[in-house]
Amino acid sequence: MTDAIALQIEGMTCASCAVHIKKALEQVPGVCSATVSYPNNQAEVTTDARVKPETVTAAVAALGYRAIATDTPVKPVSVPNKPRGASADDHKIKINGKAGKLHVAVIGSGGAAMAAALKATEGGARVTLIERGTIGGTCVNVGCVPSKIMIRAAHVAHLRRKSPFDGGISATEPKIQRDRLLAQQQARVDELRHVKYEGILESNSAITVLHGDARFKDGHSLIVRLKDGGERQVVFDRCLIATGASAAVPPIPGLKDTPYWTSTEALASDAIPERLAVVGSSAVAVELAQAFARLGSKVTILARHTLLFRDDPAVGVAITAAFQDEGIEVLNHTQASQVAHVDGEFLLTTDEGEVRADKVLIATGRTPNTRDLALEAVGVRLNSQGAILVDERMRTSVPHIYAAGDCTDQPQFVYVAAAAGTRAAINMTGGDAKLDLATMPAVVFTEPQVATVGLSEGAASHDGIETDSRTLTLDNVPRALANFDTRGFIKLVAEAGTNRLIGVQVVAAEAGELIQTAALAIRAQMTVPDIADQLFPYLTMVEGLKLAAQTFNKNVTQLSCCAG
């Protein structure tokens, strides 16, 4: 004997939601079959007589949806197919029996959060955005923007002090007034935060901003401890976690008792230390090390491995050589075993001896900000580093809760965060969008710059891909010769047999302006001969891609300047 249990389901946003629910219902012991209708927000479950309604509603609730058993079986109705695009009418749901707009809670206000909030409102949702600190997150306030301003100022200082044209243009020692540079830097940060974040939020009536700390109460509500005092409960249909990351601090004995810097304090300092020790070898470490050196610090880098060791080994070799040429001391394979701060001086004990400095910058990576969210209350899964695990649609282990940006297990770049936030919002409001990171470009803003996309030889080998590669030194690139700066190289990695381009690594001035062309070539599945046959403007750095492609079957040293 079988029974039929009818369910009213709240919270489905697309047909895939119905598929997830159907699968979960059919796994309940005693359930014979289940039919789930996304357009009708209903389900009909055929069971044996022992299964109670609360058993099947609990199975739906475990996925993050709301289910209510009703007395009326589902009757199929004819409805038009819902478009993939989002509209306000598409995303009205039943809340307490009444139709209302989909409510999306966004925790954070950085690149991922803002992109998601704006896209969700385009899809007809109303958004509550919760920020515990300064609106705008890391990038505009204490990351990308201030660091690139400081790096650019350091670049100008360096050129005034030393350039390839000193024989004809008199060099001069610049006077560094860091307090004035800092004021200029902060003014631009404040301007961009207001124009790109605060002003946009203020002008969008569909977004409510709460200032406070959020934590999960259950699968559909947050408790926000407000900055102004008191608490507020936020009930949501969908939630995006976009809380970013903070500087990771290694457990070096003695370090926590010293006034060490992270990148935040370094960028906010109104003085340039006479001696700076940088612990780390990541992009942040090398960028700020060179900037401080060019602004007047005597810099020593302690790298546990080698500089930028996750990239092709040639990258670290080239950057190390450039740094040493500028007087930056690079201690590879070196770790501090003890840190002390006595009479205003840091003392770092290493296996290579002692390093003394006036300031110590810790730049050993970033840790996701997930600890205080009470994620265990809702079952959102984390990896061993505390990052939220997401799929290609930004969905967490709880179907109606999404995550994007540096708090996830995706690469920690603001443009990845923004793209992920946009796609999360599309999916939260009924669409179907994936994030493909196969052709994600990355840039390190040293001089020369480092830019990469796709696979290195090592990564390809790890994936079982046989490769053919060529490396072109910059003394073969006319633009570099005209600049009198031939430091670096362009390396192309192709799949053996097909000659399809699968990776590019560049160390060169303005490498970041070149790498997007390589990314598009990889995305278009171009081969090395395809690239070699393209027209590139003469006396540009990007022409180096063509020359590098030509090296697969030609000796480019035997070509004329602009040979096709």
The catalytic residue positions are 12, 14, 17, 65, 139, 144, 561-562
The three state secondary structure string of 481-533 is HHHCCCCCEEEEEEECCCCEEEEEEEEECCHHHHHHHHHHHHHCCCEHHHHHC
CA distance linking residue 503 with residue 451, whole number of Å? 11
Q: Which two tokens stand for residue 363?
A: 């730049």
Give residue for tokens 């770049």: 413
Structural domain spans, the chain: 2-70, 86-248+365-437, 255-364, 442-558
In which band, very low, low, confident or very high, does the pLDDT at 61 lie, cut at 50, 70 and 90?
A: confident
Integer Cα distance of 161 and 483 in angstroms: 17
The whole model's pTM is what?
0.84
Cβ neighbours of 187 (radius 10 Å): 11
Asked if the model's pLDDT at residue 133 lies above 80, the reply is yes
Residue 375 one-letter amino acid: L
* Amino acid letter for position 37: S
Q: Where are the alpha helices (DSSP H) in 240-325?
A: 263-268, 283-294, 313-325
* Overall residue count recorded for the chain in this entry: 564
pLDDT tens digits along 411-447: 999 999 999 999 999 999 999 999 999 999 999 999 9
Compute the distance between CA of residue 482 and CA of residue 477 in angstroms, rounded to an integer: 9
Q: With a cut of 50, say whether residue 73 has pLDDT above it.
A: no
Residues 497 and 171: their CA atoms lie apart, in Å, by 52
Which CATH architecture group holds 255-364?
3-Layer(bba) Sandwich (3.50)
**442-558: in CATH 3.40.50.2300:** no
Q: How far from the centroid of its chain's Cα atoms is residue 257's Cα?
A: 31
Q: What is the DSSP letter of 387?
A: P
Domain 2-70 in this protein, CATH class: alpha beta
Q: Does 86-248+365-437 match 2-70 at the fold level?
A: no
Q: Kindly calculate the radius of gyration of the chain based on its CA atoms and give it in whole angstroms.
A: 28
- List of E strands, 358-413: 359-362, 366-368, 401-403
Query: In the prediction, which pLDDT does 16 show?
Result: 66
Structure confidence at residue 560 (pLDDT): 83
Cβ(54)–Cβ(47) below 8 Å: no
Q: Taking 60 as the threshold, does the pLDDT of residue 87 lie above it?
A: no
Question: In sequence order, which residues have a C-beta less than 8 Å from that of residue 508 and are 6 or more positions away?
Answer: 448, 449, 451, 474, 477, 480, 487, 488, 489, 490, 514, 541, 544
Both tokens of residue 85? 């695009």
pLDDT at 101: 87
The CATH code of domain 86-248+365-437 reads 3.50.50.60
Q: What tokens does 482 get?
A: 């005209």
Q: What is the pLDDT of residue 52?
A: 85
Mean pLDDT of 520-531: 98
